[in-house]
Amino acid sequence: MLGPKQEETLSQESRPEEIKIHLGFMPEEVASVLKPIINTRMGTDAAVSTMDTGESILIISRGKITDELFEQFVSNFGIEQYSENASTLTANPGAEGICERIAHSLASYIQGADITATEIVGAKYKMRDFMHDGKPELSVARIGTGPITQICLQLPEMGLQGDLAAVYTMGMMDAIGKHALDPTTPVTVSSYGGGGSASEQLTPGQLNNCNAVLSLRTHIDLLPQVKNLITALNARSDIDTTDEMAQLQRIQTEIETQSTSYNHNHTQNNLIKIRNQLIAKGLTEQEIKNTEEKDKRYYTEISLTDPQGGKRTFLRTASYDAREKAEEVAHLVLLDFANTKDPLLTSSYVTYLKKTNPEYAELQKNLDPNNIIEKTLAQIESIAHQQDSLSEAINEKKRAHTSFVRAKLKASLYENNQLSLTASGNLPSSTQSTDDLSRKIAKLDQEIATLKAEEEALDRTATELSVTLETSLENEAIRKKIQAIHEEEIAKLKQQAHECYWDIGGAHVMNMQKYDAFRDGTNPGFDRTKDYLIQAMHRTHDNSEIPSINFAAGMFIGAQTKEAVSRIAGSDTSIVADVNMEDDVIAEIIHMTVTGDIGKRDGQAIALNQFAMARVHCDPFSITHQVEDEFKAWCKQKTADKDYYTSAILWGLSGFDPNNLSDDAKWTFVDHLKAIDDSPENAALFYQYEGIVVDPFWREIGTDFLASIMNKSAFAIDTRDTRNAETIAGLAKEAATIKQMMREGADPQEIKARAELLVFHFLNVNNMINIDGSYKVWARAGSWCGNPERSIDQIGFVGAAIDRGFYVSSNMNALIEHGKRIAEKQTETMSVPQESIVLYEGPRDPNETPQLTAKQQRDAHLASLLEGREKLRATRLTEGQHSSTPAKEGIKTLGSEEPQSAPPRVSRGSVMFFYNEKKITGPRALTEIQKIQDPAQRMKAADEFIKWARAHNRHFNPPAMKEIKKISQGQDQADPTLERSKPKSAR
């Protein structure tokens, strides 16, 4: 532990006017805001802690705070760091240093969580590498000496472990609320990260803020845990646990009756508090141990959550022994909400089937993932055409050959009997000599032989293709069996959906409704739930021109799910902006700080002034099959050289500066695709930074190559084989040496030379050097949807793995670009322009009577038609609130439109978090061009717009751009009244 500093006295003079809290999950999401804030606010000197900056930054992260979080070396900053683990909780419980006290408070909170019981079995577990004795290690650090004005939280767990992510986030917010925030100091909370586009309006590299989050979230059923705790308390009559028993019995009733007031994360928070109370009273952790893994059950909810109004649940499944079952049931309902035809199973459920169904696993094992029947048939048909053409060519040559032979005979006769025959008038004078004709005949003989050889080669190829076709037909039989199992599973899961609880948010609990009645529209629970969800989404969206709702799920979100959520609200243009794994967790826990459920200090809740949730779109809405095929073809033939590797390594060591990208960073796949199809739709798939689309594999070498060698995961050879031990250890040591040399400022040329040698020896050991001396391109094992292979020519890229290529190409540079702009805005107080995507402003004048906006009037009208919770919501709308739970007074939505007589008012503390330039959209441009009556002028306007878009690297709605391109070519068949193009299928 580096010596903790004493907490400063928060006098009126030293107390900051506002504290800003930034939330992120991945290191690049945190670093892209944290690093520029440090550089902008505090300078880049090595000894920041000695500077009289007048402020400081607090950082909380998993494990030790390392170079990864800063994307440059920690030693560049003056930093004090204190790590705490629940297993060492008794150390310094009364410490006065703020980092120590926050770390201790956080560890105390998590002690009551029982992390093992909260883990979703089988889902990726990010904190697994940061556990000691079953307890998580978390660090609190501080940069600077003055009052804390900025707090950056790297949330330890990802959205695949939704319950754990919520526990850690609640613990962090609770700790900083109690020890780092004054209840009277306004607080701004913002989250920032990468996601995937859910709208064709939004292309990679664009940033979007959201008002609310639609979610499909799987939770661990807490009822077994509650029953275990009740049993434990009944066994300890020597301790007064009356209060805890009453709370547990109330929770048990809420769960068993499926109460509309039941909320999973609120209940998790209450159980943590109860366990900590019981530990304080003398019960051991073993006595209150939670559910065994074999006893865990799971359920899934479809909800809509906003940071002010809280979480509204529309559907809750029954509890299942496997999370995949619960998740798939809810997912199928979600697809039905969007009227999806021919629903597909998710990849996680397919993996579950492989584990639980031996017949299915064997079929998948024998299945060739490449369905080549159509391709093979096309090749056979092409060969048949070629054979016909060759046969015709050979016949033509033979006819010419015969003609020349006859002409030669005639010429020979003429030459032998020239005088007599000519004189008799029986033959005309010969125009060709026998030598000329002999040469022509010989040439034809050679051409005919060549054509016959080609014909024989085609015959052999046709025979081979016939064998391939036979194998493909067998493969197709396997595919049909797999499809039959899929259809059977979907039918069973839909039947199980009759156990769902419907329309919970509207207080209409409609369990035991038959799912098979959905299709004929006779299920009132389904119909009412769907209508209620759509109404809630549109109220939240408030007719914004920019999509303002995100979708989050604790699973890999495939193309079909993306397409479904993009049109679930029934409008032509998606009101869902982004898909990701965590935003619902963030939205709900921000709400819990507003209501005081977490973070209370001296009985007061955190003074939340503003909040925002933003995502940078890092992969496109849809990728066509053609692009997928070309991506796979490019990966098969891509090779590299030493400069490709070393430039990436040096870029990573120097802090991932997007302004220092080498020529090797350029993704040559872009040019490969452009040569095949130079369409606006394909151009819109990529994010360019300063004209460069980054090669995702080059980028991964820069971020992960050295670290993977050091932790030995980079090797294709058996790391457990003692014969390889010395080689692996030597390469790992060299990788660490290169990092240390960069940290110490060694000669860059020496670092480069050692990196070149490291790359050569590593690739040589792993058989990744081709015969011609070129290098195979390394890929991190497991990062491309579970790939065991380490070179991209060997990976069978399908589905989400291809999407990931586009995501990795975009995310780091796009996050850094927007992160710098966010950091630049943090010191500014400004009025909010019309196009701003700021969500909430500070409190209005308390003596001012708020006027209802158009949105609020619609809310009030709709609320009068609903029961229960929405009635409470309607009464609060007249007081300027949206919350269904009493919220901090004065937090205001900026998204809604005010009447002209009451323009939006901006409080003293209002800040525009995330920049968003006023951009023309594709549909708007199309509408304006179509208004031009003169066809020639209309063509000219369309052509000029396309040239302008290309010159400025601007990408617009692909269907709209397609129509504009048609107009520029004089193929104007579009409806002049068309204002927006409908989203096309994701596949």
Reported residue count of the chain is: 987
For the segment 876-895, the average pLDDT, to the nearest whole number, is 34
pLDDT tens readout for residues 28-79: 888 888 877 777 655 544 334 333 456 788 889 888 777 666 655 555 555 5
Q: 626 and 928 in contact (C-beta within 8 Å)?
A: no
Distance CA 57, CA 954 (A): 37
Output 189 or 977, whichever has higher pLDDT: 189
Output 586 or 835, whichever has higher pLDDT: 586
SS (H, E, C) 563-592: HHHHCCCCCCCCCEEEEECCHHHHHHHHHH
- Lookup: tokens for 268: 């998790």
What pLDDT, on the 0 to 100 scale, is given for residue 374?
60
Residue 869 above 70 pLDDT? Answer: no
Distance CA 475, CA 591 (A): 52
Print burial letters for 330-362: b (CB count within 10 Å at least 16), e (below 16): bbbbbbbbbebeebbbbbbbbebbeeeeeebee
pLDDT tens readout for residues 414-447: 666 554 444 444 444 445 577 777 877 788 788 8
Output 259 or 373, whichever has higher pLDDT: 259
- In sequence order, what are the residues at sequence separation of 6 or more whose Cβ sits closer than 8 angstroms to the Cβ of residue 297? 220, 221, 223, 224, 319, 320, 321
Q: 226 and 248 in contact (C-beta within 8 Å)?
A: yes
Distance CA 966, CA 680 (A): 12
Residue 552 above 80 pLDDT? Answer: yes
Distance CA 25, CA 379 (A): 48
What pLDDT, on the 0 to 100 scale, is given for residue 414?
61
Q: 220 and 117 in contact (C-beta within 8 Å)?
A: yes
Output 710 or 87, whichever has higher pLDDT: 710
Ramachandran quadrant class, 371 (left: phi over 0; alpha: psi -120 to 50; beta: rest): beta
- Quote the distance between the C-alpha of residue 521 and its chain's center: 34
For the segment 252-269, the average pLDDT, to the nearest whole number, is 88
Ramachandran quadrant class, 691 (left: phi over 0; alpha: psi -120 to 50; beta: rest): left
Distance CA 651, CA 700 (A): 11
| DSSP per-residue codes, 101-147 | HHHHHHHHHHHTT-HHHHSPTTS--GGGGGEETTEEEEEEEEEESS-
Residue 573 above 90 pLDDT? Answer: no
Calculate the average pLDDT of the chain. Answer: 75
Q: What interhelical angle do 434-496 and 373-416 show, nearest 10?
A: 170
Share of the chain above pLDDT 70, in %: 73
Q: Which stretches within 497-558 are classed as H helix? A: 524-541
What pLDDT, on the 0 to 100 scale, is given for residue 448?
81
* Phi then psi dihedrals of residue 689, to 5 deg: -115, 115
Q: 151 and 22 in contact (C-beta within 8 Å)?
A: yes
Q: 838 and 911 in contact (C-beta within 8 Å)?
A: yes
Cα angle vertex 955, ends 951, 961, to 5°?
A: 100
Cα angle vertex 886, ends 881, 889, to 5°?
A: 50
Distance CA 483, CA 489 (A): 10
pLDDT tens readout for residues 477-527: 888 888 899 999 998 888 777 677 776 655 444 443 434 444 444 566 677
Residue 922 above 50 pLDDT? Answer: yes
| Res. 974 pLDDT band, cuts 50 70 90 | very low
Distance CA 31, CA 652 (A): 14
Share of the chain above pLDDT 90, in %: 23
pLDDT tens readout for residues 267-282: 999 999 999 999 999 8
SS3 41: helix
What pLDDT, on the 0 to 100 scale, is given for residue 925?
79
What pLDDT, on the 0 to 100 scale, is given for residue 146?
78
Distance CA 907, CA 724 (A): 65
pLDDT tens readout for residues 307-364: 888 999 988 888 999 999 999 999 999 998 898 888 989 888 988 998 899 998 888 8
The residue ranges of DSSP E strands in 840-903, in sequence order, are 840-841, 892-893
Q: 356 and 552 in contact (C-beta within 8 Å)?
A: no
For the segment 895-915, the average pLDDT, to the nearest whole number, is 27
For the segment 169-198, the average pLDDT, to the nearest whole number, is 90
Q: Which stretches within 357-433 are classed as H helix? A: 358-366, 373-416, 418-424
User: In degrees to the nearest 10, what's the CA dihedral of 549, 552, 556, 557?
Assistant: -30
Output 540 or 360, whichever has higher pLDDT: 360
| DSSP per-residue codes, 776-833 | PPB--TTTTTS---SBTTT----THHHHHHHHHHHHHHHHHHHHHHHHHHTT---PPP
| Res. 5 pLDDT band, cuts 50 70 90 | very low
Ramachandran quadrant class, 344 (left: phi over 0; alpha: psi -120 to 50; beta: rest): beta
Distance CA 751, CA 728 (A): 20
Q: 842 and 609 in contact (C-beta within 8 Å)?
A: yes
Q: How many CA atoms lie within 13 A of 822 on its CB side?
A: 35
Give me the amino acid identity at 378. Answer: A
